[in-house]
């Protein structure tokens, strides 16, 4: 394994250490979404998935 | 009637402030995107090694974590953001060189670039027109980001192509969520600093572009 892979792994672990307290804070303090709120996220996400599938088909 | 007047005045000034943040964010975002594409071009023509790209990316992320938050409330924040986005763009050099060397590489890169732009415009338009509050997604997005980074680290050792594709697909969905979250945060006054807002949106776009490029490269006929 070369030093780039080891460096990438160490960098990734540093990112996890940096993100972890922010993730805990967000989980504790962010408001809870209703079913309607989540549908408001899933609706555009569905279009993103379809669009990405279309892009994949276009390069095949 | 008169009692309501200050409320109306404050509300309209709040809307003006939000519009100003939005305008400045998109202006700064577009300038940083142009600048990072120039540095990415230099990364390609200079034949940057993967090690050089990693050092450039680490330097950018360290500045993003420790320098930008300290300078974002002053004029110094703008050059700092340009340095960060320039380093991140330069770090794309080896990856772009790899894809551009494929037979239909230029087409894949342009498709990924255009696709990222269309997704960003669509999601921003959705968040701006519906004015939905996506603040409830903060925890979900952070957990998603954490899992995706952990899976990426695992894949450095396991080198499973299927896991790489799954991570790329998950990154696109998470970054789509971040674009909605960040745009709604600007609209609802959660983010009032246009430098931090532009930095957040830039990172979402960069990650989405890289993930889309991986997916398109993997599914294209060219190997």
Closest CA to B79 of B23, B26, B32: B32
The gap between the terminal CA atoms of chain B, to the nearest Å, is 71
Residues of A in contact with B137 (CB under 8 A): 30, 33, 41
Say what percent of chain B tops pLDDT 90.
Answer: 77
Distance of CA B51 to the CA centre of its chain: 22
H-type alpha helices, chain A: 3-29, 35-59
Q: Is the pLDDT reported for residue B146 higher than 80?
A: yes
Picking from B61, B104, B216, the nearest residue to A55 by CB comes out as B216
Residues 87 through 116 of chain B touching chain A, CB cutoff 8 Å: 104, 107-108, 111-112, 115
- The pTM for the full model equals 0.91
Residue B192 is classified by DSSP as -
Of A28-42, B7-21, B96-110, least confident by mean pLDDT is B7-21
Q: Do residue A56 and residue B145 have CB atoms under 8 angstroms apart?
A: no
Residue B132 is classified by DSSP as -
The gap between the terminal CA atoms of chain A, to the nearest Å, is 33
d(CA B191, CA B127): 14
Q: Is the pLDDT reported for residue A60 higher than 90?
A: no
**Residue B1: per-residue pLDDT:** 43
Please count the other Cβ atoms lying within 10 Å of the Cβ belonging to residue B85. Answer: 27
Q: Is the pLDDT reported for residue B8 higher than 50?
A: no
Residue in chain B lying closest to A36 (CA): B132
Q: Say yes or no: B153 contacts chain A, CB-CB below 8 A.
A: yes
**Residue B3: per-residue pLDDT:** 46
Residue in chain A lying closest to B220 (CA): A60
Tell me the pLDDT band of B14, cut-offs 50, 70 and 90. confident
Biggest CA pair distance of chain B: 71
Q: Is the pLDDT reported for residue A39 higher than 70?
A: yes
Residues 35 through 54 of chain A touching chain B, CB cutoff 8 Å: 37, 40-41, 44-45, 47-49, 51-52
Q: Do residue B173 and residue A41 have CB atoms under 8 angstroms apart?
A: no
The label of the residue with tokens 């931090």 reads B196
Please give the ipTM for the structure prediction: 0.92
Distance of CA B74 to the CA centre of its chain: 22
Three-class secondary structure of residue B41 per DSSP: helix
The string of pLDDT tens digits covering residues B28-69 is: 999 999 999 999 999 999 988 989 999 999 999 999 999 999
| H or E segment to which residue B189 belongs | none
């Amino acid at each position: 394994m070369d030093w780039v892979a080891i460096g990438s792994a160490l960098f990734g672990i540093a990112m996890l250490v940096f993100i972890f307290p922010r993730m805990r804070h967000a989980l504790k303090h962010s408001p809870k979404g209703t079913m309607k709120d989540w549908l408001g996220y899933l609706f555009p996400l569905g279009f993103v998935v379809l669009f990405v599938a279309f892009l994949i088909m276009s390069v095949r | 009637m008169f009692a309501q007047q200050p409320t109306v005045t404050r509300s309209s000034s709040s809307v003006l402030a939000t519009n100003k943040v939005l305008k400045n964010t998109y202006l700064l975002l577009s300038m940083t995107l142009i600048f990072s594409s120039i540095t990415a071009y230099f990364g390609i023509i200079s034949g940057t090694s993967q090690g050089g790209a990693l050092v450039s990316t680490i330097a950018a992320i360290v500045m993003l974590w420790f320098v930008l938050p300290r300078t974002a409330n002053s004029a110094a924040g703008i050059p700092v953001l340009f340095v960060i986005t320039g380093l991140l763009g330069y770090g794309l050099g080896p990856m772009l060189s790899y894809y551009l060397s494929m037979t239909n590489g230029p087409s894949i890169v342009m498709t990924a670039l255009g696709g990222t732009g269309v997704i960003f415009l669509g999601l921003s338009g959705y968040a701006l027109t519906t004015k939905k509050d996506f603040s409830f997604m903060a925890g979900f997005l952070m957990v998603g980001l954490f899992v995706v980074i952990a899976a990426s680290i695992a894949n450095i050792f396991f080198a499973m192509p299927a896991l790489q594709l799954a991570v790329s697909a998950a990154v696109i969905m998470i970054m789509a969520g971040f674009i909605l979250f960040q745009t709604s945060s600007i609209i609802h006054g959660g983010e009032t600093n246009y430098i931090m807002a532009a930095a957040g949106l830039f990172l979402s776009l960069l990650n989405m572009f890289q993930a889309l490029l991986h997916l398109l490269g993997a599914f294209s006929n060219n190997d």
